[in-house]
Structure 1
Amino acid sequence: MNFQQAVQTCFRKYVEFSGRASRPEYWWFILAYFVSAFVGGFIHEFVYYLVVLAFLLPLLAAGARRLHDVGRSAWFLLLGLIPVIGTLVLLYFMVQPSQPESNEYGPPPAPVPVGA
């Protein structure tokens, strides 16, 4: 999955908290968020807040699907509310490889063809 496909997929599934998201899908979307927020912050504070607001639900949904991909409940996203330790634990979960077999959250995400 490339950058453009990941961003399109995450915005298309912006309120879909079920299913699974592959590691590249999640991390390309995180990169898109940080770049957009950084650029928006340079343009104007109002633009920055619009970017953050536009990405809020898709980020939560992608995070939930990513946790499902490693076999964890989306409730683990609440660990992000714990300063430092919670963030580190979430980061550890997010960088784990996908479970190759089906789990309670569904089958593994289908690989996207390169030319698609």
Structure 2
Amino acid sequence: MNYYLDVIKRYADFQGRARRQEYWMFLLWNIPIVIVLTILDYALGSYPVITWIYTLAVFLPSLGVSVRRLHDTGKSGWWYLVSLIPFIGFIWMIILMATEGDAGPNAYGPSPKQIAA
């Protein structure tokens, strides 16, 4: 849960680098929250209202952690636009997000693994 809250605290921070663990733990918490909110929407008969509000609220933190994750692999945040390519972009983005980051410092800052250690 700490990883999720750390991403939320860095709301619109696109600077620096994010470890794989930070990105995937945020995603691991975000998906069940969306599922629960969707079920709640249907139970209350409000269809997608609560889910859309939540999705809009976490859009910038989600984008921020994705850009920082790309920075960790030495790529610009603009690479996120690859995800807009139908089907192939989604697969490519999963591969990029699962790729190990640069071991040492790169153009986007020091390695987050070295900072955490």
TM over 0.5: yes
* TM-score, normalization by structure 2: 0.89
Partners of 1:14 and 1:62 within 8 A in 2: no
Question: Which residue identity lines up with residue 15 of structure 1 in the other structure?
Answer: A
* TM-score, normalization by structure 1: 0.89
Alignment of 1:22-101 (within 5 A): 22-44=19-41, 45-101=48-104
Question: Which residue identity lines up with residue 33 of structure 1 in the other structure?
Answer: N
Mapped to 2, the partners of 1:34 and 1:57 lie a distance apart of 16
The structure whose Rg is larger is: 2
Moved over 3 A (4+): none
Aligned to 1:19: 16
Percent of residue pairs identical? 34
Mapped to 1, the partners of 2:62 and 2:23 lie a distance apart of 9
1:87 is displaced (CA, Å) by 1.0
Which one has a larger percent helix, Structure 1 or Structure 2? 2
Aligned to 1:111: 116
Runs (5+) with no aligned partner, structure 2: 42-47
